[in-house]
Amino acid sequence: MVILIAVGAGVGAVARYALTTWGKVWWPGQPLATVVINVTGALLAGVITGLMLPAAWAVVLLTGFCGGYTTFSTMMVDAMILLRKRDWWGWLWYFLGSSVLGIVAVIIGMTVGMGMH
């Protein structure tokens, strides 16, 4: 089981890296790729939870893939960078927007997942 979780985490981390790299091209100097990653990760986690998969699959996908894909620590660093720049509005939109969108994404994902179950 641990190996499957590690593989899932590795795949998630590579997906996060790819989207982060893409985001730096499209939104230079802005942490929008992190928002996209965390919100889509929350959506996926909601779908997985709503599907009520067997425990082993849920652990591999949630702890493994979603854990490797989403990035709370990067979100916090990006928020601190915005604060250091004294970009108060940017910080407010980034921090609160990420949190609210993440919660909404989980709710939508769970609804979709339960509908697929």
Binding residues: 67, 70
User: Which amino acid belongs to residue 9?
Assistant: A
φ, ψ for residue 31, nearest 5 deg: -85, 30
The tokens for 17 are 């890296």
Q: Could you give the angle at which helices 72-84 and 88-116 cross, rounded to 10 degrees?
A: 160
Annotated binding residues for Na(+)? 67, 70
